[in-house]
A = this chain, B = another copy of it.
Amino acid sequence: MGVVPTKAKGKPSTRVGLTREQIITRALALMDDNGASWLTMRRLAEDLGVSAPTLYWHFRDRQELIDAAIDAALSAINDVPDLSGDWRQDVTTFMAHMRSDLTAHPCVTDLMRDRYPASAERMSRRALDIFDAMGMSPADTAGSARLMIWRVLGFATLENNIRTGTAYHEATGTNVYRVASTQAAPKTTDAQRALGTLDLDALFAYDVELFITGIAGLHQHG
């Protein structure tokens, strides 16, 4: 394996030895850099040094390629560590893991849009244990898991759009953004001024805190 058979003169039908994995990897990289809608079959093929119809030998259609890219980008999401016994710890870990997986490839939340609910459901199953271990009712366990997933998914979607989009500018730090004032309205309040900056890490930490405090309050867990 790994043998590249450089065969014919070089022009027509030369074997390139393209694999599904290579195509997916390149597709993900290009979408992360240029946005999901930028990538067309023709552009991807050109980047791979191949003609467009070639891709249809490896994938049935564009959607199958996209689905494979989503799966590849989300494959690491199953490596969530085992429960620690401290549910606050477990919630924090799960949410942090999920966020970092979803933001590792900024294009993935965009790609998932059509498959949103199904993808979210798949992740929910892995979250049930945390709330089950707290002694919640089955309905509350399912609801809590679902909401935890939905929240991280929503956060990561916004976050990815912010980091790759044009609505925010001037990243003053790693995850701190200056918010472009779309309205010409003068910012009078201090809170309005505070809206002008966006620290994604701090905001996520606050979201996690809010969730944990909410769960603790509603289910009487000191």
Known A125-B195, A189-B138; judge A210-B215 contact (CB<8 A).
Answer: yes
- Range of interface residues on chain A? 35 or more
| A79: Cβ under 8 A from any B Cβ | no
**Interface hits, A182-208 → B, CB 8 Å:** 182-183, 189-195, 198, 202-203, 206-207
- A190→B118 contact, CB < 8 A: no
Known A132-B191, A217-B214; judge A206-B157 contact (CB<8 A).
Answer: no
Stoichiometry, as copies per complex, reads 2
| A90: Cβ under 8 A from any B Cβ | no
Known A210-B215, A214-B210; judge A117-B195 contact (CB<8 A).
Answer: no
- B194→A138 contact, CB < 8 A: yes
Chain B residue with Cβ nearest A146: B203
In angstroms, how far is the closest chain B Cβ from the Cβ of A61?
15
Chain B residue with Cβ nearest A168: B117
- Specify the main secondary structure of chain A where it touches its partner: helix
In angstroms, how far is the closest chain B Cβ from the Cβ of A171?
13
In angstroms, how far is the closest chain B Cβ from the Cβ of A111?
11
| A86: Cβ under 8 A from any B Cβ | no
Known A113-B110, A131-B191, A194-B141; judge A158-B210 contact (CB<8 A).
Answer: no
- A122→B165 contact, CB < 8 A: no
In angstroms, how far is the closest chain B Cβ from the Cβ of A218?
5
Residues of chain B contacted by A114 (CB below 8 angstroms): 161, 165
Chain B residue with Cβ nearest A155: B150
- B211→A210 contact, CB < 8 A: yes
| 17 additional A-B residue pairs with CB within 8 Å, beyond A113-B161, A138-B194 | A110-B113, A114-B165, A116-B158, A117-B165, A117-B168, A121-B195, A125-B192, A125-B195, A128-B191, A128-B192, A139-B194, A141-B194, A142-B192, A147-B207, A151-B154, A209-B218, A213-B217
Q: Can you identify 11 A-B contacts, CB atoms within 8 angstroms?
A: A113-B161, A117-B158, A120-B158, A122-B183, A139-B194, A141-B191, A142-B192, A146-B198, A146-B203, A153-B154, A213-B214
